Amino acid sequence: MNLNKLCNYVQLKLLNNFTDFTVDGLEHIPPKGPLIYIANHQAFLDPSLISVISPRKINFIAKKEAFKYYPIASLMKMYGAHPINRFGLDLTFFRWALKILNNGEALCLFPEGTRSNGEMIKGLPGIVHLAIRSGANIIPIGIKGTNESRGIKGVLMPSGKIEIKIGKSFKFEKSKNALHRDDINSILKEIMNKIAELLPYDMRGIYR
């Protein structure tokens, strides 16, 4: 058993033993081909949840600042995380992500770019460029309940009722053409609304 599978096995055991953990919509995940999971983000626990429920190995991104701390960095690398600069155009990440998708693999992104306080915040445009350039299937995911399992402790000792809803896949026509700002904003709103539709109204934030 490799480290990724071992982490998923242990995490699922923790979830089943200490939380009321439910998943709906697994049938929407395509078994092969380039795939981008997108989800709302409240806690450190969120990436491992998606890794646990996915029938496919996932590649993640995480803010590069988190890789400064050995325990967290080691855990994230086990899950296939890649560091990213959130405060500018990170071409290294973009090339890496396109390579992952061009190889027919799965990638997970949290378009908000950081953890929220429970209500969705405005998404970042990086997901738009990646979706258009790759033409990959996109799977929206709504995560509810991880606000009770905040911090790294929440990964090791999750609690409460955690619900995951997986929406139907969608995608955009693949293109290398530059996008106008209005087009980017429009596509970003469409993408974020797909996540919001899977959450209770009071968690949708600016996407109510």
* Residue type, position 189, single letter: K
Element (H, E) at 137: strand 137-144
Cα–Cα distance measured from residue 175 to residue 54, given in angstroms and rounded to the nearest whole number:
28
pLDDT at 166 over 60: yes
- Poorest-pLDDT segment among 17-26, 54-63, 68-77, 180-189: 68-77
- 2 vs 37, which has greater pLDDT? 37
pLDDT at 69: 64
pLDDT at 21 over 90: yes
Phi-psi region of 133 (alpha: psi -120 to 50; beta: other; left: phi over 0): alpha
The tokens describing 129, both together, are: 């460029």
pLDDT at 151: 75
CATH number of 3-207: 3.40.1130.10
- Give residue-wise pLDDT tens across range 120-142: 999 999 899 999 999 999 999 99
Any idea where the domains of the chain sit in the sequence?
A: 3-207
pLDDT band of 44, cuts 50, 70, 90: confident
pTM strictly above 0.75: yes
Average pLDDT of the chain? 88
pLDDT at 121: 96
Residue 36 bridge partners (DSSP):
107, 138
pLDDT band of 163, cuts 50, 70, 90: very high
Cα–Cα distance measured from residue 106 to residue 58, given in angstroms and rounded to the nearest whole number:
5
